[in-house]
Chain A
Amino acid sequence: MNQKSRHAWLVFVALGIGLALLPFLVDAGLGRSWVRILDLALLYVMLALGLNIVVGYAGLLDLGYIAFYAVGAYCYALLASPMFGLHLPFWVLLPLGALVAGLFGVLLGTPTLRLRGDYLAIVTLGFGEIIRIFLNNLNAPINITNGPQGVNQIDPISIAGLSLGKTQVLFGVTFSSPHLYYYLFLILTLVVIFVSMRLQDSRIGRAWAAIREDEVAAEAMGINVRNIKLLAFAMGASFGGLAGGLFAGFQGFISPESFNLMESIMILCMIVLGGMGNIPGVILGAVLLTVLPEALRYIGDLQRAWLGHVVIDPSDLRMLLFGFALILMMLFRPAGLLPSRQRKRELSAAGDIAEQEQASVYDARH
């Protein structure tokens, strides 16, 4: 073992201890509600990594990604709540949610195989809306989703008889419910990160990069474009489904309104902000965009302190800032805060490669 890898190992250990202690530090420093925000941040990291497979690796712009989150969440909610009187355990429901969401991914992928770029974006957006409209209206004539009221009293996740919904004392340490969920989410997030990393460098990952760069050339190289695209949709969707199941168990209540287009766009923002295709970037983007809006709440307090009353509701400000962030990022730092090396080369302003490609595409088309 050389010097460098020993350092890497030390960094890993330090990071591990830091992540393990984080909820306690946050709890002590900022309060219990911030531990919940931390949990949500981990869910968003999973979602963003899932979308990153579709958008970042395979280059398929999906604006309806939240639909898979919704499918996973409803899968869990309907099978573990008084709704149908079913109470299946989480180790059945989470894989089931991921599987069903993956199937929906294929369902979305199949008709859109021939589409590229902006057409795909619009169709996926429409798909997301279709799912939401159905969730909203499937309470009649047979009540399946309970319509706009949503499903409540969802069972909390419980592992080996240990319910994560209640405060538990383990090894003499008291863990509140958000703490317990934090550790579960952290482990699953690490799994998702690991899978993402391995996928990126795998044969499949390289095939995704190939179709992202040039579909025709990829096909000529013997890549089965259809299957590889469907796989991207299915993999991305199953991550979303997994996160959705966790969300349902964590929240205890879900309704179609949690899964609107703005959520899809927010997840897209996360990966654009952080750096498409680059795992550390995506994680950074997800954490930033979950934590910053919460921090924005303090703007309301500031307004009250300075101006005497709240002029602009901070929750109204949130989406506005996201919108500006999207525009400004694309204009000034299109590759994201932590760009992947390849993306950076492609998207850089002086990208003579891109220009040449543009020119040759132009020649070929006219």
Chain B
Amino acid sequence: MDIFVQQIINGLVLGSVYALVALGYTMVYGILELINFAHGEVTMIGAMVSLTVISALVGVGVDLPGVVIVLLGLLAAIPVCMGVGFTIERLAYRPLRNAPRLAPLITAIGVSIVLQNIAMLIWGRQYISFPPILPQGRHQILGATITDVQIAILVASVVLMLGLTLMVKKSRLGRAMRATAQSPQIAGLMGVNANTVISLTFILGSALAAVAGVMVSAYYGLAHYYMGFLLGLKAFSAAVLGGIGNLAGAVLGGLLLGVIESLGAGYIGGLTGGVLGSNYQDVFAFFILILVLMFRPSGLLGERVGERA
């Protein structure tokens, strides 16, 4: 039972990170029907930039609490990621908006490779470790342990998701986004500048990705130029699981995927008599993705059964 609760907690924490990244995929898909392949890489850039700033601050010996240093790193990472997201859309996707669907997908792969390799040239191939500056407190819940970092991740992601939902539901920009998603042409007739809305969507998604990047590196204590790939793939699976294009779906999908993954990793060894071990953890996301696409391509909360699904 303790293990069960523990895996649920771990899963929810991991899942909330997936959800933040999945929101970026889903927002872009909702508007452009484009899988922004490079979104995972934006998360990685966020992690790398913040880690660089944090390490520099720690290295100089700044006398600030750990939390403040991490926040400063985050504040540095967010604008960088916003810039990257904006640039990607501007240079690689916008010129191809009316091209056949294969074309932007291939540029997206190209952008992803470029970002990965630029990161490798800047930060090298080795793992970068997160300085141990955050509070290491542990709390007991129902026989399981939850750390301060985990609590912080959960709280921050809930706040961000609520904020995003409010923004999309209530604000002018949110209304423009929803209108553009329904029909760019008609939104244009109503005075919405679709290009601005699309740029802002990318910027918003990238900011969330930056936060997620910091969370992942703080959680695992590591960052690596290749970390964005798998994270992005899982987050995309989460978005599809919840119903791509649907914000609540991305959150639900992210949390579910996180829980399934950690429960799977915890129990697969026992269930299969040791044939499959926790080293198969990364396979779950793909199997879920394939199963969802086979049986419910519109996802859990998606309404439209699109022609493309």
Hey, which bits of chain B sit against chain A, CB under 8 A? 34-35, 91-92, 95-96, 98-107, 109-114, 116-118, 120-121, 183, 185, 229, 233, 236-237, 240, 274-277, 279-280, 282-283, 285-287, 289-290, 293-294, 297, 307-309
Q: Are B35 and A118 in contact (CB under 8 A)?
A: yes
**How far does the Cβ of B81 sit from chain A's closest Cβ, in whole Å?**
18
Q: A61-B102, A118-B105 are in contact. Are A261 and B229 (CB under 8 A)?
A: yes
**Would you list the 7 A-B pairs with minimal beta carbon distance, nearest first?**
A326-B110, A323-B113, A126-B286, A323-B114, A320-B117, A327-B110, A118-B35
Q: Are B103 and A347 in contact (CB under 8 A)?
A: yes
Chain B's closest residue to A121 (CB) is B105
Q: A123-B289, A330-B96 are in contact. Are A319 and B103 (CB under 8 A)?
A: no
Q: A261-B229, A322-B113, A366-B183 are in contact. Are A115 and B275 (CB under 8 A)?
A: no
Q: Are A265 and B99 in contact (CB under 8 A)?
A: no
A223 proximity list for chain B (CB < 8 A): none
Does chain B have a CB within 8 A of A11? no
Report the tally of A-B residue pairs with Cβ distances under 8 A: 141
Cα separation A115 to B289 with both chains bound (whole Å): 12
Q: Are A324 and B110 in contact (CB under 8 A)?
A: yes
B117 proximity list for chain A (CB < 8 A): 316-317, 319-320, 323
Cα separation A112 to B295 with both chains bound (whole Å): 11
Q: A122-B236, A133-B283 are in contact. Are A326 and B105 (CB under 8 A)?
A: no
Q: Are A137 and B308 in contact (CB under 8 A)?
A: no
Cα separation A265 to B107 with both chains bound (whole Å): 12
Identify 19 new A-B residue pairs, CB closer than 8 A, beyond the known A115-B309, A331-B96, A331-B107: A114-B293, A114-B297, A115-B293, A118-B308, A119-B308, A127-B290, A129-B282, A137-B276, A141-B274, A261-B229, A312-B121, A317-B117, A323-B112, A323-B114, A326-B106, A326-B113, A354-B100, A355-B98, A366-B183
A118 proximity list for chain B (CB < 8 A): 34-35, 101, 105, 308
Cα separation A330 to B297 with both chains bound (whole Å): 29
Hey, which bits of chain A sit against chain B, CB under 8 A? 59, 61, 63, 111-112, 114-119, 121-123, 125-127, 129-130, 133-134, 136-137, 140-141, 261-262, 265, 268, 272, 312, 316-317, 319-320, 322-327, 330-331, 334, 346-347, 354-355, 358, 362, 365-366
A-B contact pairs, 7 of them (CB 8 A): A61-B102, A126-B237, A133-B282, A316-B120, A323-B117, A326-B110, A330-B103
Q: Are A119 and B229 in contact (CB under 8 A)?
A: no
Q: A140-B277, A327-B107, A330-B107 are in contact. Are A123 and B290 (CB under 8 A)?
A: yes
A316 proximity list for chain B (CB < 8 A): 117, 120-121
Q: Are A61 and B105 in contact (CB under 8 A)?
A: yes
Cα separation A147 to B60 with both chains bound (whole Å): 44
**How far does the Cβ of A251 sit from chain B's closest Cβ, in whole Å?**
24
A121 proximity list for chain B (CB < 8 A): 35, 105
**How far does the Cβ of A226 sit from chain B's closest Cβ, in whole Å?**
14
Q: Are B113 and A347 in contact (CB under 8 A)?
A: no
Chain B's closest residue to A265 (CB) is B109
Cα separation A319 to B226 with both chains bound (whole Å): 13
B112 proximity list for chain A (CB < 8 A): 323
Q: Are A112 and B293 in contact (CB under 8 A)?
A: yes
Q: Are B121 and A125 in contact (CB under 8 A)?
A: no
Q: Are A130 and B107 in contact (CB under 8 A)?
A: no
- Decide if the interface of chain B is mainly helix, strand, loop or mixed: helix
Q: A129-B286, A268-B106, A323-B117 are in contact. Are A111 and B34 (CB under 8 A)?
A: no
Cα separation A323 to B108 with both chains bound (whole Å): 9
B282 proximity list for chain A (CB < 8 A): 129, 133
Cα separation A298 to B96 with both chains bound (whole Å): 35
Chain A's closest residue to B96 (CB) is A330
Q: Are A320 and B100 in contact (CB under 8 A)?
A: no
**How far does the Cβ of B13 sit from chain A's closest Cβ, in whole Å?**
23
**How far does the Cβ of A161 sit from chain B's closest Cβ, in whole Å?**
42
B309 proximity list for chain A (CB < 8 A): 114-115, 119
Chain B's closest residue to A261 (CB) is B229
Cα separation A261 to B240 with both chains bound (whole Å): 21
**How far does the Cβ of B110 sit from chain A's closest Cβ, in whole Å?**
3
**How far does the Cβ of B282 sit from chain A's closest Cβ, in whole Å?**
6
**How far does the Cβ of B249 sit from chain A's closest Cβ, in whole Å?**
15
Q: Are A123 and B114 in contact (CB under 8 A)?
A: no
Q: Are A331 and B95 in contact (CB under 8 A)?
A: yes
Chain B's closest residue to A59 (CB) is B102
Chain A's closest residue to B34 (CB) is A118
